[in-house]
């Protein structure tokens, strides 16, 4: 069974004082929770602070992007190996806000994924269709191309390393991000299953293990329904990650959903919900 993972994406938010109180509140609210994995992805400037406040807790931390280059004359870029120096575990790559703001292609995102994997960190690779693509009925085609960029675009040795370290896929329909209108649980499940099927074409075992998390207006109200879907292995949370109350509630729900499915497995001896 795949363990649920809930990741907060702080985006361009925070300052030293606010981060301190948000992180302290999260640490205290989640300290007794061990049934799922939790992480926050903070702006680069606060990686040091995240490390100082989160080391030794059950909450991991990470960054929101990494350069496709390792070093050199690339003013303002930050490499994956620099990020790794701050004890991080995760790096978000290919978020739709980055794809839009920097015109980032699937190929460039795949190169960034490669650098992250080479630095020993876990990429959270974001995929998802825009509203226009959704309305045009091309969502699966768009997502397929985004997935193929990593299943077929990475060098064999990098892909092998990615399987070892783990990659997280985040399905984030662009129309659901920050809109208050999340995908329905069945829409999310349908796309997650489709993504797992694409990965299974390359490696069946890896497809069973890989975490595919959902992002886009996940809240404490809709988290249980979304996280109960068999192929929804967690959440990537934007707005609600800025509230210790909301974020911790989602984290706790993720743990509960996992425990329910474990109990079902034990009690019924049949295929679990999750």
**Contacting residues toward ligand 13P, per CB under 6 A:** 9, 95, 172, 177-178, 215-218, 236-240
Smallest separation (angstroms) from ligand 13P to the CB of 160: 28
Distances 149 to 105, 178, 252 between C-alpha atoms, Å: 10, 26, 34
What contacts 55, CB < 8 A, 6 or more positions away? 87
**The pair of three-digit structure tokens given for residue 146, joined into one six-digit string:** 């985004």
Overall size of the chain counted in residues: 274
Smallest separation (angstroms) from ligand 13P to the CB of 222: 11
* DSSP letter assigned to residue 216: S
What contacts 201, CB < 8 A, 6 or more positions away? 151
Smallest separation (angstroms) from ligand 13P to the CB of 195: 16
Active site includes 95?
Answer: yes
Decide if 251 contacts 223 (C-beta within 8 A): no
**The pair of three-digit structure tokens given for residue 270, joined into one six-digit string:** 């049949």
Which residue's CB is nearer to ligand 13P, number 158 or number 192?
192
Catalytic position from the list 95, 104, 133, 134: 95
**Dihedral in degrees, nearest 10, Cα atoms 93, 132, 221, 268:** -80
Which residue's CB is nearer to ligand 13P, number 232 or number 237?
237
Which residue's CB is nearer to ligand 13P, number 169 or number 236?
236
Smallest separation (angstroms) from ligand 13P to the CB of 247: 10
Catalytic position from the list 118, 133, 172, 192: 172
Torsion angles phi and psi, residue 91, rounded to 5: -140, 125
Instruction: Give residue number: closest CB to ligand 13P.
Output: 238
Which residue's CB is nearer to ligand 13P, number 158 or number 215?
215
- Residues annotated as catalytic are 95, 172
């Amino acid at each position: 069974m795949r363990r649920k993972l809930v990741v907060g994406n702080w985006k361009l938010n925070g300052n030293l004082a606010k981060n301190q109180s948000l992180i302290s509140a999260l640490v205290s609210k989640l300290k007794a929770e061990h049934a799922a994995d939790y992480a926050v992805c903070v702006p680069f400037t606060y990686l040091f602070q995240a490390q100082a406040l989160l080391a030794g807790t059950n909450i991991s931390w990470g960054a929101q992007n990494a350069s496709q280059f390792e070093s050199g004359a690339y003013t303002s870029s930050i490499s994956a190996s620099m990020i790794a120096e701050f004890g991080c575990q995760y790096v978000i790559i290919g978020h739709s806000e980055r794809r839009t703001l920097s015109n980032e292609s699937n190929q460039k995102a795949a190169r960034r994924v490669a650098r992250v994997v080479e630095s020993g960190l876990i990429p959270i690779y974001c995929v998802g269709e825009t509203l226009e693509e959704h309305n045009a009925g091309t969502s699966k085609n768009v997502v397929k191309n985004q997935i193929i960029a990593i299943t077929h675009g990475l060098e064999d040795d990098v892909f092998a390393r990615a399987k070892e370290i783990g990659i997280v896929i985040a399905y984030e329909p662009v129309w659901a991000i920050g809109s208050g209108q999340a995908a329905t649980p069945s829409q999310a499940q349908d796309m997650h299953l489709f993504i797992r099927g694409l990965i299974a074409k390359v490696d069946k075992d890896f497809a069973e293990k890989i975490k595919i998390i959902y992002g886009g207006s996940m809240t404490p109200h809709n988290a249980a329904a979304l996280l109960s879907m068999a192929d929804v292995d967690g959440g990537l949370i934007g707005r609600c990650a800025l509230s210790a109350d909301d974020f911790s509630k989602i984290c706790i729900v993720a743990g509960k959903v996992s425990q329910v499915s474990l109990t079902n497995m034990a009690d019924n001896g049949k295929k679990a919900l999750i």
